[in-house]
Structure 1
Amino acid sequence: MKKVLSDVVTGQWRPVAAAGTLGALHQACEAAVPLLIGVIVDEAVATGDGTRLGLWIGLLGAVFLVLSNAFRFSLRAGELAAHRAEHDLRVRLARRVLAEGGVDRLSGELASIATGDAQRVGRVNAALPTAIAAVVGLLVGAVALLRVSTALGLLVLVAAPLMLGLAHLLGKPLERRSDAEQDRAAAASGVAADLVAGIRALKGIGAEAAAAARYRGTSAESAAAAVRAARSRAWLDGWMLAVTGVFLAVVALVGGRLAANGEITVGQLVAAVGLAQFLLWPLTIFSWVNGLLAQARASAARVGAVLDAPPAVPPGSHVPPAAVGDVALVDVVSGPLRGVSFSVSAGEFVGVVADDPAEASALLALLAREVDPESGAVLLDGVALSEVDGAVRRSALLVASHEADLFGGTVLENVLDGGEHVAEAVAAARVDDVARALPDGMGTAVSERGRSLSGGQRQRVALARALAAAAPVLVLHDPTTAVDAVTEVALADGVRRVRAGRTTVVVAASPALLAAADRVVHLSAGVVVAQGAHADLVTRPDYRSAVLG
Structure 2
Amino acid sequence: MRIQDLPFPDPGVPDARSGPRLLWWLFGNQLSGQLVALAWGLLHFASVAALPFCVGVAVQAAVDRSGERLALAGGLLALVCVSNAVGDTFLHRAAVTNWITAAARVQQLLARKAADLGAALTRRVAAGEVVTVSTGDVEKIGWFVEALSRFTAAAVTIVLVSAGLVVYQPALGVVVAVGVPVLACAVLPLLPHATRRADVQRAKAGRATELASDTVAGLRVLRGIGGEELFLERYRRASQEVRHAAVRSARMWSLIAALQVLLPGLLLIGVVAYGVHLARQGRVEVGELVAVYSSVMLLGYPLRHVMEIAMAYSFSKPSARRAARVLALERAMDAEGSLPGQSVSGDLYDPETGLCAPSGRLTAVVCGDPDVAGRLAERLGGHAPQPGASVLLGGVPLDELPLESAREAVLVQDKDPVLLSGTLRELLDVPASGKVEPQAALEAAQCGDVLAALVQGSLDVRDPMDARLTERGRSLSGGQRQRLALARSLVADPEVLVLDEPTSAVDSHTEARIAQGLRDLRSGRTTVVFTSSPLLLDRADRVVFLHEGTVVAVGTHRELVRTEPRYRAVVTRETEDEARLEEPRDTREDRAAPPEDRAAPPEVPHRLETFEEPEELEEIEETA
Rate the CA distance shift 1:231–1:14 in 2: closer, same or farther, 3 A.
farther
Partners of 1:360 and 1:507 within 8 A in 2: yes
Residue 294 (structure 2) aligned to one of 274, 286, 289: 274
1:259 partner amino acid: A
Cα distance change, pair 319–56 in 1 and its aligned pair in 2 (3 A): closer
Residue pair 1:326, 1:345 contacting (<8 A) in 2 also: yes
SS at match of 1:162: helix
TM-score by length of 2: 0.73
**Match in the other structure for 1:324:** 345
Which structure has more RCO (C-alpha within 8 Å, separation ≥ 6)? Answer: 1
- Tell me by how many angstroms 1:538 deviates: 5.0
1:470 paired with 2:493, answer yes
Is 1:437 aligned with 2:453? yes
Partner of 2:444: 428
Q: One-letter code of the match for 1:328? A: Y
1:288, distance to aligned residue in structure 2 (A): 2.0
- CA distances 1:31-85 after superposition (whole Å, capped 9, x unpaired): 2222222322332476385x87566445423322221121011011011011101
Is the 2:117–2:383 Cα contact (8 Å) retained in structure 1?
A: no
1:9–1:16 Cα contact (<8 Å) kept: yes
Partner of 1:397: 410
Query: Which residue, 55, 66, 72 being the options, matches 1:37?
Result: 55
Contact kept in structure 2, 1:325 and 1:502, CA below 8 Å: no
Tell me the equivalent position of 1:68. Answer: 85
1:133 Cα offset (Å): 2.9
> How far does residue 12 in structure 1 lie from its aligned partner after superposition?
1.4
- Call closer, same or farther: CA 1:289–1:362 in 2, change over 3 Å: closer
Q: 2:116 aligns with which of 75, 81, 99?
A: 99
Deviation at 1:389, TM superposition (A): 5.2
Q: Which residue of 1 aligns with 2:162?
A: 142
- Is the contact between residue 400 and residue 475 of structure 1 (CA under 8 Å) also seen in structure 2? yes
**More moved, 226-235 vs 249-258:** 226-235
CA 373–246 in structure 1, closer or farther in 2 if over 3 Å, else same: closer
* Equivalent-residue separation in structure 2 for 1:12 and 1:219 (angstroms): 42
- Please tell me whether the aligned partners of residues 109 and 186 of structure 1 are also in contact (alpha carbons under 8 angstroms): no
How many residue pairs match? The answer is 530
Task: Specify whether residues 11 and 483 from structure 1 end up closer, same or farther in structure 2 by C-alpha distance, changes over 3 A only.
Answer: same
Report the Cα offset of residue 446 of structure 1: 4.0
Residue matched to 1:335: none
Displacement of 1:239 after TM fit? 3.5
Write the mapping of 1:289-368 to structure 2, written as runs, cut at 5 A. 289-309=309-329, 311=331, 317=338, 322-330=343-351, 332=352, 340-368=353-381
Matched, 1:132 2:155: no
CA shift for structure 1 position 287: 1.5
Measured in 1, the distance between the counterparts of 2:291 and 2:130 equals 53
Structure 2 unaligned segments of length 5 or more: list them. 1-18, 574-624
Contact 1:348-1:501 within 8 A present in 2 as well: yes
TM-score, scaled relative to structure 1: 0.82
State the alpha-carbon separation in 2 of the partners of residues 42 and 322 from structure 1: 84
Determine the C-alpha separation between the residues in 1 that align with 2:178 and 2:189.
18
Larger CA Rg, structure 1 vs 2: 2
Deviations 1:254-310 (A, max 9, x none): 223333444333333333332222112122322222111222233223322333345
Equivalent residue, structure 1, for 2:578: none
CA contact (8 A) 1:352 1:521 kept: yes
Partner residue, 2:577: none
Looking at structure 2, the residues matched to 310 and 187 of structure 1 have their Cα atoms a distance apart, in angstroms, of 28
Give aligned-pair identity as a percent: 34
Which one-letter code corresponds to 1:371 in the other structure?
A
- Paired letter, 1:479: P
Alpha-carbon spacing, 1:188–1:434, altered in 2? closer, same or farther (3 Å):
farther
Aligned mate of 1:547, from 560, 571, 580: 571
> Residue deviations 1:355-387, cap 9 Å, x none?
221231232133123335899884422445555
> Does residue 1:416 correspond to 2:416, yes or no?
no
SS of residue paired to 1:476 = strand
Asked whether 1:86 is paired with 2:103, we answer: yes
8 Å contact 2:49–2:157 — kept in the other structure? yes
Q: CA deviation at 1:9?
A: 1.2
The aligned counterpart of 2:304 is 284
What does the per-residue CA deviation read over 1:132-174, in whole Å, with 9 as the maximum and x for residues that have no partner?
Answer: 2322332343345346521221112222233334444443445
Bigger Cα displacement from structure 2, 473-482 vs 295-304: 295-304
Match 1:509 to one of 532, 536, 540: 532
State the distance in 2 between where 1:188 and 1:370 align.
31
User: Residue 16 of structure 1 contacts residue 81 of structure 1 at CA under 8 Å; is this kept in 2?
Assistant: yes
With over 3 angstroms needed to count, the CA separation of the structure-2 counterparts of 1:376 and 1:149, relative to structure 1, is: closer
CA shift in 2, pair 1:16/1:482, >3 Å: same
> Taking structure 1 as reference, are residues 301 and 234 closer, same or farther at Cα in structure 2, changes over 3 Å only?
farther
Q: Which amino acid aligns with 1:512?
A: L
CA distance in 1, matches of 2:183, 2:540: 77
Do the aligned partners of residues 195 and 453 (structure 1) sit closer, same or farther apart at CA in structure 2, a change above 3 Å counting?
A: farther
Q: Which residue of 2 aligns with 1:492?
A: 515
Cα distance in 1 for partners of 2:319, 2:328 equals 14
- Give the conservation status (yes or no) of the 8 Å contact 1:429–1:464: yes
DSSP-derived class of the 1:482 partner: coil
Question: How many angstroms apart in 2 are the aligned matches of 1:147 and 1:387?
Answer: 67
Q: Which runs of 5+ in 1 are unaligned?
A: 333-339
In structure 2, the CA distance between the partners of 1:254 and 1:432, relative to structure 1 (3 Å rule), is farther
- Encode CA deviations 1:326-349: one digit per residue, 9 max, x unaligned: 12345x3xxxxxxx4443222211
Q: Which amino acid aligns with 1:402?
A: K
Residues 451, 48 of structure 1: alpha-carbon distance in 2 compared, 3 angstrom cutoff: farther
1:47 aligns with 2:89: no
Q: Say what the alpha-carbon RMSD is for the aligned residues.
A: 4.1
The 1:376/1:93 distance shift into structure 2, 3 A limit, reads closer
Change (3 A) 1:401 1:143: same
